[in-house]
Amino acid sequence: MPGVVIVGAGHAGARCAHALRQAGYAGPVTLLGDEGAEPYERPPLSKSFLLEDGRLAPIAPADSYAAAGIVLRPSARAAAIDPAARRVELADGASIAYRHLVLATGSVARMPAFAGLAPGDVLALRNAADAARLRQALRPGQRVLLIGGGFVGLEVAASATRLGCRVTVVEKQPRLLPRAVSAWAAGRVLALHAGQGVEVKLGCAPLDIGRAGAAFQYVLDDGTRGEADVVLAGMGATPDVALAAHAGLALNPPPVHGVLVDEACRTSAQGIYAIGDIAAPRDAGGGCRVRLESWENAERQAARAAATIARAEQGGGPQSAEPAADDAPWFWTDQFDMNLQIIGWPAGAVRHVAREAGTGKAVGFHFDAAGVLVGAELFNSGRERRVVRQLVAAGRGVDAEELADPAVPLAAALR
């Protein structure tokens, strides 16, 4: 009997497989991966994996898949989908029938293209194989050129610096992380890296990079010339929508891109769902303005798709099986000794106040033109996350002066 087939044994895929059982779905579940490994957590790849023992952190215990009746096939790449026949074609020529298909194919790193470089010359970090290659390359004294100052890239810059490398970050925007954080937070991140010896060149991009024996020579558009032993792309990622596009599923156009889904993670094709980095939630206008690439988003959409499928199998509609509407999105990054947690949408705000608590602890609160709190950024202040998230999720005006005063408990603003 055809059951649920999940394409992509990454974060969202693995979580969805288990969530189906938790939601009461008893039919067959097949989880198809293409990395040849059991599903693992990606956030440690840029942090502890490079700095410590190089061990992968499993998403679920190895024996939990079989114990839950989940058929995990870690080396079964899906090559195509036939939505009319409800079949997935595998790269080895076999095919699998499905009743429900969940696409969780994640993202691929954006790579620079220079005529003098061969494939593999520029490293990126999306998966365990990339991380193993990077771990080998980041030896003390190595000169690292990081193209782009996104989150993953900056985490690697911090790890590489700690490993004794000399790191140069080249970011073409006038500040770091322009789409994701406020100018206030970007300034703090820049100061942190500069203070740790990372050379950060803003408003500047590579014009050319080529091989020079074992090393690389580069020219930047401000005329700077330099050499590097390691070149790393930190330019962000694009959703891997190849299968979905080939199958004719509705996509959101770039720059947001992604597979359009409704609030129950259903795509435009009957019985096909999309979750995690590839999912572009439709807004009231039928398009998508924001697609999230985060650990928590993968968790939530996995649970939501699983609940929808389980309920459909039990004869119910999708709506009532869904978790409550998302509260403000949450993302974290660890760089050097800084833990930065981002809640809501700080980047587009028009006003901000900072609550400075000394010793690297601070919270920035960000307001829209109507005075509504739309985002917050917590530096080394994880204990405040719960209450700050409640404040942002409440989506109303709060007293900015009160928030900025460390003597006033944050919970007071909730009343």
* Residues forming the site for ligand FAD (CB under 6 A): 7-13, 32-35, 42-43, 45-46, 77-78, 104-107, 125-126, 152, 240, 243, 276-277, 293-296, 298, 331-333
Residue identified by tokens 């974290």 is: 332
Name the residue nearer to ligand FAD (CB basis): 159 or 268: 159
C-alpha distances in Å from residue 107, one per residue of 7, 307, 395 = 13, 24, 31
Contact 346, 178 (CB under 8 A): no
Rounded least distance, CB 256 to ligand FAD, Å: 15
- Smallest gap from Cβ 145 to ligand FAD, in A, equals 18
| CA separation for the pair 76, 68 (Å, rounded) | 20
When CB distances to ligand FAD are compared, the closest residue is 10
Q: How far is the CB of 119 from ligand FAD (least distance, A)?
A: 18
Nearest-approach distance from CB 228 to ligand FAD, in angstroms: 20
Q: Of 343, 332, 185, 179, nearest to 255 (Cα)?
A: 179
Residue 88 or 353: which CB sits closer to ligand FAD? Answer: 88
Q: How far is the CB of 348 from ligand FAD (least distance, A)?
A: 19
Nearest to 90 by CA among 130, 18, 1, 30: 30
Letter string b/e over residues 5-15, b meaning 16 or more CB atoms within 10 A of that residue's CB? bbbbbbbbbbb
Go through the chain and tell me how many residues it has: 415
Shortest reach from residue 34's CB to ligand FAD, in Å = 4
Q: 64 in helix, strand or coil?
A: helix
Strands (E), 128-185: 143-147, 166-171
* Interacting residues of 59 by C-beta distance below 8 A, sequence separation 6+: 11, 14, 15, 38, 39, 40, 41
Of 43 and 54, nearer to ligand FAD (C-beta) is 43
Nearest CB to ligand FAD, comparing residues 220 and 333: 333
Q: Shortest distance, CB of residue 398 to ligand FAD, whole angstroms?
A: 25
Name the residue nearer to ligand FAD (CB basis): 36 or 317.
36
Nearer to ligand FAD, 65 or 295 (CB): 295
User: What is the closest distance, in whole angstroms, from the C-beta atom of residue 375 to ligand FAD in the complex?
Assistant: 15
Pairing type for strands 107-109 and 122-123 reads unpaired
Between 80 and 404, CB nearer to ligand FAD: 80
Q: Provide the CA 394 distance to its chain's centre, in angstroms.
A: 25
Task: Using DSSP bridges, classify how beta strands 107-109 and 215-220 pair: parallel, antiparallel or unpaired.
Answer: unpaired
Phi, psi of 50 (to 5 degrees): -75, -35
Tell me the sheet residues that pair with 266.
273
Q: Rounded to 5 degrees, what angle do the CA atoms 269, 272, 277 make?
A: 110
Question: Which has the closest alpha carbon to 237: 171, 293, 155?
Answer: 293
> Closer to ligand FAD at the Cβ: 40 or 365?
40
The nearer residue to ligand FAD, 171 or 293, going by C-beta atoms, is 293
Cβ proximity to ligand FAD: between 6 and 353 the closer is 6
Give the nearer residue to ligand FAD in terms of CB position, either 126 or 266: 126
Cα of 218 vs its chain's centroid, Å: 29
State in angstroms the smallest separation of the CB of 178 from ligand FAD. 18
Minimum distance, C-beta of residue 130 to ligand FAD, in the bound complex (Å): 8
Q: Two tokens at 301? A: 């959409």
- The encoded tokens of residue 377 equal 């950024």
Where would I find the H helices in 285-378? Answer: 295-313
Minimum CB separation from ligand FAD for residue 231, in Å?
17
Task: Let me know how many helices (H) and strands (E) the chain has, helices first.
Answer: 11, 24
